[in-house]
Structure 1
Amino acid sequence: MTVAAGTAGMGDDDHRVTRRSRRRRWWRAALVTVALVGAAAILLPRATTWAMARGEVKHSVDDLPVLAGDEHRAAIVLGAGLKGEEPSPLLRERIDAAIRLLDADRVDLLVMSGDNSTQYYDEPTVMRRYAIDHGVTADQVAADYAGRRTWDSCTRARDIFGIDEAIVVTNSFHVDRAVVTCNAAGVDTTGYSVSDSHHALHNRAKWRVRELAASGRALADAWIVHPKPAVGGDQIDPWDPCELRDSLAPSDAQSTRQEFENAGC
């Protein structure tokens, strides 16, 4: 009888040990493969948005061009939650950054885009009033009441407000996805990144973990789904103060009625 090489002298127990060892090695290899594939599936979308936005994200007002002549450019300020009737700290930082762009003649219009899906939660109105309370004139601040997520904010900027070039203002953990999303929606977009480095470490980690999943959905929207925004509407010219006034919620328009009258409305 011929004995296979490497198995001479091995008893049944030895064969069983060898088979168990091979199975363990197979399972370890399978688990490592699954882990690597899973990690790639989670990390790849975020890496993709970073690569696609590279070169389109600015961190200083001085890195952005000054408006020339009759040129128009909007800053799209994306909602980030409320604390009662006030902007959350993240949202306040975004609005303050947008005001700096306006003061430096990098933009001539702020579009406050956020969630107003219930009567008890109205991000755009709170954002708009905050900007006006900090020196912005009423005819320089539009409100997008249906910016429920980044894709909706970007597509509505194009379809409702007729914006084809914008600076999207958001925090550093979100800016890459916002730039990619708005570009895919048809708005020529530069990102203005607002640092979150001074926030608590656990919050910064939470925002970035959430961004991993959000990046995958953003790429699906941009490349495959192209969904319509949850809420449509009639197009307006936000640089026309009378049309801007008419697009506001009645209470918001009334609170700044005198400013619009001074603008000729």
Structure 2
Amino acid sequence: MKLKKILGKTIILIVLLLLGIYIPNTIVQHQSKGKTYNDISSIPKNKVGLILGAVKIAPSGNINLYYQYRLEAAITLYKAGKIEYILVSGDNGRKDYDEPSDFKNDLIKAGIPEDKIYLDYAGFRTLDSVVRAKEIFGQEQITIISQKFHNERAIYLAGHKGVKAIGFNARDIGGRYGKKTKLRERLARTKAFIDVVFNVQPKYLGEKIVIG
């Protein structure tokens, strides 16, 4: 009898856990539907493209392909005239860890003028990046630049924070590493859903910065 009770409670917990993952994922997909683009010719033009941060060098010592493909997507958008400025938002929580500056240096190497690049050093997570794009950099309409799964979550958050956002999908990554990232994304969407419900705010705001 005791074993049956334990088994019953375990099943209930598993069902609740699955619902806690399935429901937010479904909502994120629904609210971002039709707002991400793979084709440069079909994406609408916006003043600012927001690159969501990523570490440049992977633990293996090789370049992080998520970083590389986001960089390439931003360059493509700019050179096609689909954005006028690039806002790089990432983590600079330590002196030896600076995502925005890595992107800036590589964008300049690719021919993007330095005065067209703005850096947000307090984009510690996607919610912070999206809200700060509006509250600090004054953008209520942006093109988000990341992989599709990440763009969908960012667009979902943006919609609940008063930002009209579309996404340009950087090339994705397959294989074992890509699958692990997708699994983590499921949990990240649950966290995003909770953040929206409880109106969670960025870790830092600060003084406003005018783009352009």
**What is the TM-score normalised by the length of structure 2?**
0.89
Partner of residue 122, structure 1? 98
3-state DSSP class of the match of 1:45?
Answer: helix
Q: CA deviation at 1:208?
A: 1.1
The yes-or-no answer on 1:207 pairing with 2:181 is yes
Instruction: Describe the shift of the 1:146–1:87 C-alpha distance in structure 2 as closer, same or farther (beyond 3 A).
Output: farther
Partner of 1:10: none
* Aligned twin of 1:187: 163
Cα distance change of structure 1 residues 230 and 100 upon mapping to structure 2, 3 Å threshold: same
SS of residue paired to 1:63: coil
Tell me which residue corresponds to 1:50: 29
2:47 corresponds to which residue?
A: 73
- Equivalence for 2:81: 105
User: Gapped runs of 5+ residues in structure 1?
Assistant: 1-19, 67-71, 240-265
Does 2:138 align with 1:159?
no
Q: Quick one: distance in 2 between partners of 1:55 and 1:186?
A: 18
Does residue 230 of the first structure (1) align with residue 186 of the second (2)?
no
Q: Structure 1 220/124 Cα, relative in aligned 2: closer, same or farther at 3 Å?
A: same
For residues 72-114 of structure 1, the C-alpha deviation after alignment (integer angstroms, 9 at most, x for no partner) is: 6110000111218996221121011011111111110100110
Q: How has the CA–CA distance of structure 1 residues 33 and 231 changed in structure 2, closer, same or farther, with 3 Å as cutoff?
A: closer
> Matches of 2:21 and 2:71 in 1, distance apart?
31
- Structure 1 residue runs of 4 or more that deviate by more than 3 Å after TM superposition: 23-34, 84-87
Q: Distance in 1 between matches of 2:16 and 2:99?
A: 39
- % same residue: 26
The counterpart of 2:56, out of the listed 60, 82, 100, is 82
Q: Is the 8 A contact 1:87 1:126 kept in 2?
A: no
Q: 1:74 to 1:168 in 2, by over 3 A?
A: same
What is the distance in 1 between the residues matched to 2:89 and 2:96? 17
Q: Indicate if the aligned counterparts of 2:72 and 2:170 stay in contact, CA closer than 8 A.
A: no
Once the two structures are TM-superposed, the CA of residue 157 in structure 1 deviates from its matched residue by 0.5
Q: Decide whether aligned partners of structure 1 residues 95 and 24 sit closer, same or farther in structure 2, where only a CA change above 3 A counts.
A: same
Pairing 1:173–2:149 present: yes
Indicate how the Cα distance of structure 1 residues 28 and 222 shifts in structure 2: closer, same or farther if over 3 A, else same. closer
Q: 1:26 to 1:120 in 2, by over 3 A?
A: closer
Instruction: Tell me the CA shift for residue 173 of structure 1.
Output: 2.5
Measure how far apart 1:172 and its partner are.
2.1
Q: Mind listing any 5+ residue stretches in structure 2 that lack a counterpart?
A: none
Instruction: Say if 2:113 is the partner of 1:140.
Output: no
- Structure index of larger Rg: 1
Q: Distance in 1 between matches of 2:206 and 2:12?
A: 48
Larger mean Cα displacement after TM superposition, 113-122 or 35-44: 35-44
1:32 Cα offset (Å)? 4.2
**Equivalents in 2 of 1:145, 1:24: separation in Å?**
53
Q: Count residues in correspondence.
A: 210
Match of 1:259 in 2: none
Could you tell me how far 1:162 is from its partner in structure 2? 0.6
The equivalent residue for 1:63 is: 42
Is the CA contact 1:87–1:127 (under 8 Å) kept in the aligned structure 2? Answer: no
What SS is found at the alignment partner of 2:146?
strand
Secondary structure of the structure 1 residue equivalent to 2:168: strand
Shift of the 233–32 alpha-carbon distance from structure 1 to 2, 3 Å rule, reads: closer
Q: CA RMSD in A?
A: 2.3
1:46·1:211 contact (CA, 8 Å) conserved in 2? no
